[in-house]
Amino acid sequence: MSGEVVLGDEIARAIKCVMEIDNEVRKKVREKSEQSRLAVKEGGSSFTAFQRLIDDICINLETN
């Protein structure tokens, strides 16, 4: 910690900037959020990968 004091006005300005509808950071977060949601949804890449892992484990259990 540098011991630097940040004024409340600066914090409020930064928060308002991020909260603006057309803020680029906000847009990117929304896009990544949607991509993440789709990945874990049935048929999504993460869902499919996890299903394959479960299938592999079950097959290995059956053969041992």
In the chain, where the domains are located = 8-63
- DSSP-assigned states of every residue in 7-35: -HHHHHHHHHHHHSTT-HHHHHHHHHHHH
pTM, to two decimals: 0.54
What span, in angstroms and rounded, lies between the C-alpha atoms of 55 and 49?
10
Q: What is the pLDDT of residues 3-60, one digit of tens each?
A: 889 999 999 998 888 788 788 888 888 899 999 999 999 999 999 999 999 999 999 9
